[in-house]
Amino acid sequence: MRRTAAVAVATMVAFGAHAQAPADWKAKWDAALEKSKGQSLAISVHSQDGYAASIRPFQRKFPNIKVTVTEIIPDAMVTRVLNEQKNHVYAWDVMWASTTNMNSSLIPAGAFQDLEPFLLLPEVADPSNWNAPDYQWTTSKAKQVFIQSLFTTNLAFQNMDNSNGFRVTKLEDLLDPRLKGKIGIRDPYHANGGTWTFGAFLKLGGRDFIKKYFTDMDLVVNMNPRQAADAVMRGDLAIGTGITTDVISRCKRAGGCKNVEPLPFGEIMGTRGVAVFKNAPHREAATVFINWFLSKEGQAAHLAEFAKLNESGAVSRRKDVPPPGPEHLATVPDYAHLDKAFIPGMDEGNEVLEEAMKIYADIKGGPR
């Protein structure tokens, strides 16, 4: 995956080089603060540990805004929002989650609105405050989903207790007959942490490998990350893909999962992003949240809360907000070489992801 010069030029022509705060930002900010008093804020967040907790500092700082937080898997949120908007129901203000479904499903469906007019604070709109400003938006087609975090992660784990001591050390080991029927995947027809691994494996091994993987290994389908995690932690399966790292972290903190470890390959560049829904009913409350959350104060508060519940991945693109500890520092990406990473939450990575899911559907049949 590589962002070409042509894409970069097209982005600059369409939108200008980078966002800047409006000249009258202070007046607009003060007006938003005043009008937000007494408003509600309906925000959807990823159901992974740490997301909802990151909203609590905002609730404490702005007690005059009544915040309702809904924790939901992003692909389930897609179905919910698109059904509602189809029936002219606009109940949500903000979404904050991993960006794959936001970019691949909600932006094309017109579910969001342009975010740039919401970026009032100069420290938020100034690209010099952010690492990798060319990766600020999920797509060159729309400035709707702002990426506040890029982080390296691996969502594929193995349980040594259920593999007869066979340790997977390289991609080709996933085709070993001893693992047949012992590899769990999530819903293979929709973008999620499980299908992200499809894209990572396709990128590493090519079409011939991924076809054999889908055809020969009797993959076991689990429909959500908790089921996938439980199957591996219990030892029902040797390998689980699409397991969010917070589940394994919780297990290890409780003294378990001693033989559960990430695969040494298949690393993914995770993305967390924020957006405002079309016809958001509480515009001023959404404005206050977006600016606070993307400020230095908001990002520092988010990382502090996220790190309490996760052993890695508490990372912000803001240059002035460092990770809260060495274990999180290890997941900071190499910003100078993002063009070599697999980023399923952006257009280029989504193309790889879609190809992998199509190969699965062509082999197994299904809705794609």
| pLDDT score for 202 | 95
Q: With the CA atoms of 104, 108, 109 and 111 taken in that order, what torsion angle do they form, in degrees rounded to the nearest 10? A: 80
Residue pair 65/285 in contact by the 8 Å Cβ criterion = yes
How far out from the chain centre does Cα 352 lie?
16
Q: Is the pLDDT score of 204 beyond 90?
A: yes
Summarised one tens digit per residue, pLDDT across range 20-34 is: 788 899 999 999 999
| pLDDT score for 113 | 98
Summarised one tens digit per residue, pLDDT across range 230-261 is: 888 888 899 999 887 777 877 888 888 888 88
| pLDDT score for 106 | 98
Summarised one tens digit per residue, pLDDT across range 260-286 is: 889 999 999 999 999 999 999 999 999
Summarised one tens digit per residue, pLDDT across range 86-122 is: 999 999 999 999 999 999 999 999 999 999 999 999 9
Q: Is the pLDDT score of 355 beyond 70?
A: yes
What percentage of residues in the chain have a pLDDT greater than 90?
Answer: 72
Helix/strand/coil percent split, the chain, to 5: 50, 15, 35
Q: With helix as H, strand as E and coil as C, how does 238-299 read?
A: CEEECCCHHHHHHHHHCCCCCCEEECCCCCEEEEEEEEEECCCCCHHHHHHHHHHHHCHHHH
Summary mean pLDDT of the chain: 90
- Please state the length of the chain: 368
Q: Is the pLDDT score of 345 beyond 90?
A: yes
In this prediction, residue 18 has a pLDDT band, given cuts at 50, 70 and 90, of: low
Summarised one tens digit per residue, pLDDT across range 307-340 is: 998 888 999 999 999 999 998 999 999 999 999 8
| pLDDT score for 8 | 41
